[in-house]
């Protein structure tokens, strides 16, 4: 069975959509709800991807007893690991989830470390510090070869290698969508809890919140850690999905700028807006890449820059003429007290759509 072009298009679109939903939900938590201008989102995403690139492959290789230098013989080792994983599905999944856990821990730690120097200062200092750190992750990845193989990148083992080739991507996509849905539910629950309301209070009037006894620095650090952990999970998943990590893929445009664009299209502090914004952006981007070849030859430059130009202008237009985005922020619906009569499925439905 060979997949049709349209199916591949939709499957890939859904997978990228799911990954960006995770990253954007984490950014929305930070920027939309708490007002923390994290211009170094790429840092946490990249940290997750680097964890996925450097840790699971080495664990698998030592478990399977494969010899050799993990970076130098990377292609060979990962190929052998993938063959070994065909017979060890359970271990594969266990290590996969363990990696996501490590990625979340590393991401959260990096989020704390990079924001700590500027967390007490005005927002622009925090923004500058995070942006500067975000620019640095690529340099470390490029130069420190044992991490992600430097400029050549590394392959990431595939826990789904037991599946036949044509089933691999659809299965991975289903998994990604499921994880994204879980993150969505988690984020909604968190934002409807007292914590979520406190975040908005700190964002809208820090002084008032502090007068009521809320420690705004602590709450900001908390949200940065949680959000960086989620973004790192997103980065690790992206690494697993594309089957490799290369440092220069983690640049400011892809993982800081596009997420900001997406949450601003959808509307800040609104998780439904995140879904809509991400869907619009990912579809638009996919179509631009899809039809790029037909523009080639008409213009005397690489068409990829038209894409940058267009998206930059779209963002400026949104900021100037529709700063609230497509979905306007609404007052928080609080979590309903669980009633014994209410069915479990209905509660999940209410959480998602009400």
Partner 1 sequence: MVNFVFDPIFSDAIIFASLLALLSIGLTLTYITTRVPNFAHASFATIGVYVALVVTHVWGLLPYVAIPISFVISGIVAVLLYTLVLKPLIRKGASAAIQMIATLAFDLIMIAILNITADYIVKTYHVTSREFSLRSYDIEFMGLPAIVIIAPITIAILAIALHIGLRKTKFGIAMRASTENSDLAGTVGINVKLIYGVSWLLGGGFAGIAGALMSMWFQGDPNLGQQIIPSIFAASIVGGFLSIQGAIVGGVLVGLTEVLGTRFLSGEFGSWLIAYRPLIPLIFIVVTLFFAPKGLAGINWSRLWRNGSRD
Note the residues at the interface with partner 1 (CB under 8 A). 31, 35, 37, 39, 117-118, 121, 123-125, 127-129, 131-133, 135-136, 139-140, 142-143, 252-253, 257, 260-261, 264, 300-302, 305-306, 308-309, 311-313, 315-316, 319-320, 323
Q: Give every CB contact of residue 292 below 8 A, 6+ residues apart in sequence.
A: 303, 304, 307
Quick one: tokens of 253? Answer: 């445009």
Q: Report the distance separating Cα 241 and Cα 285, nearest Å.
A: 18
| Nearest to partner 1 of 116, 290 (CB atom) | 116
Quick one: tokens of 86? Answer: 């065909």
| Nearest to partner 1 of 35, 153 (CB atom) | 35
Least separation in angstroms between CB 342 and partner 1: 39
| Nearest to partner 1 of 102, 148 (CB atom) | 148
Check residue 247 and report its DSSP letter.
Answer: G
Report which secondary-structure segment, H or E, holds 313: helix 304-321
Q: Report the distance separating Cα 225 and Cα 315, nearest Å.
A: 27
Least separation in angstroms between CB 258 and partner 1: 10
Nearest to 278 by CA among 37, 16, 11, 40: 16
E-assigned strand segments in the chain: 154-155, 244-245
Least separation in angstroms between CB 230 and partner 1: 20
Least separation in angstroms between CB 270 and partner 1: 16
| Nearest to partner 1 of 124, 342 (CB atom) | 124
| Nearest to partner 1 of 37, 170 (CB atom) | 37
| Nearest to partner 1 of 103, 263 (CB atom) | 263
Least separation in angstroms between CB 143 and partner 1: 4
Specify whether the backbone of 38 is left (phi greater than 0), alpha (psi in -120 to 50) or beta: beta
Q: Report the distance separating Cα 326 and Cα 321, nearest Å.
A: 11
Q: Give every CB contact of residue 277 below 8 A, 6+ residues apart in sequence.
A: 24, 261, 262, 263, 264, 265, 266, 267, 325, 326
Least separation in angstroms between CB 51 and partner 1: 20
Least separation in angstroms between CB 239 and partner 1: 23
Q: Report the distance separating Cα 185 and Cα 191, nearest Å.
A: 10
| Nearest to partner 1 of 135, 210 (CB atom) | 135
Quick one: tokens of 118? Answer: 């500027």
Q: Give every CB contact of residue 258 below 8 A, 6+ residues apart in sequence.
A: 20, 281, 285, 311
Least separation in angstroms between CB 319 and partner 1: 5
| Nearest to partner 1 of 151, 350 (CB atom) | 151
Cα angle value 334/339/340 (rounded, 5°): 160
């Amino acid at each position: 069975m060979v997949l049709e072009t349209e199916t591949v298009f939709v499957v890939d679109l859904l997978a990228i959509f799911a990954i960006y939903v995770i990253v954007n939900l984490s950014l929305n938590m930070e920027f939309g709800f708490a007002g923390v201008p994290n211009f170094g989102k790429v840092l946490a995403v990249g940290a997750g991807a680097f964890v996925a690139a450097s840790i699971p492959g080495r664990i698998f290789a030592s478990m399977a007893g494969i010899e050799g230098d993990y970076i130098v013989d990377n292609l060979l080792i990962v190929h052998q690991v993938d063959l070994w994983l065909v017979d060890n599905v359970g271990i594969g999944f266990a290590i996969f989830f363990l990696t996501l856990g490590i990625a979340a821990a590393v991401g959260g730690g990096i989020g704390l470390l990079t924001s700590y120097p500027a967390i007490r200062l005005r927002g622009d200092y925090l923004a500058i510090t995070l942006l500067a750190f975000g620019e640095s992750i690529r340099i470390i990845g490029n130069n420190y070869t044992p991490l992600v193989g430097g400029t050549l990148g590394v392959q990431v083992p595939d826990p789904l290698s037991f599946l036949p080739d044509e089933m691999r991507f659809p299965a991975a996509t289903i998994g990604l969508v499921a994880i994204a849905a879980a993150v969505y539910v988690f984020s909604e629950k968190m934002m409807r809890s007292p914590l979520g309301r406190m975040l908005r209070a700190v964002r809208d009037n820090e002084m008032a919140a502090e007068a009521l006894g809320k420690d705004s620095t602590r709450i900001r650090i908390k949200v940065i850690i949680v959000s960086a952990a989620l973004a790192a999970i997103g980065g690790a998943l992206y690494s697993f999905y594309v089957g490799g990590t290369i440092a220069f893929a983690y640049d400011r445009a892809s993982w800081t700028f596009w997420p900001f664009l997406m949450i601003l299209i959808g509307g800040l502090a609104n998780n439904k807006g995140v879904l809509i914004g991400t869907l619009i952006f990912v579809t638009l981007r996919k179509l631009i890449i899809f039809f790029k070849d037909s523009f080639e030859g008409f213009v005397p430059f690489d068409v990829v820059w038209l894409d940058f130009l267009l998206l930059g202008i779209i963002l400026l237009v949104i900021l100037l003429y529709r700063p609230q985005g497509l979905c306007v922020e609404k007052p928080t619906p609080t979590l309903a007290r669980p009633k014994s009569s209410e069915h479990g499925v209905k509660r999940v439905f209410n959480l998602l759509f009400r």
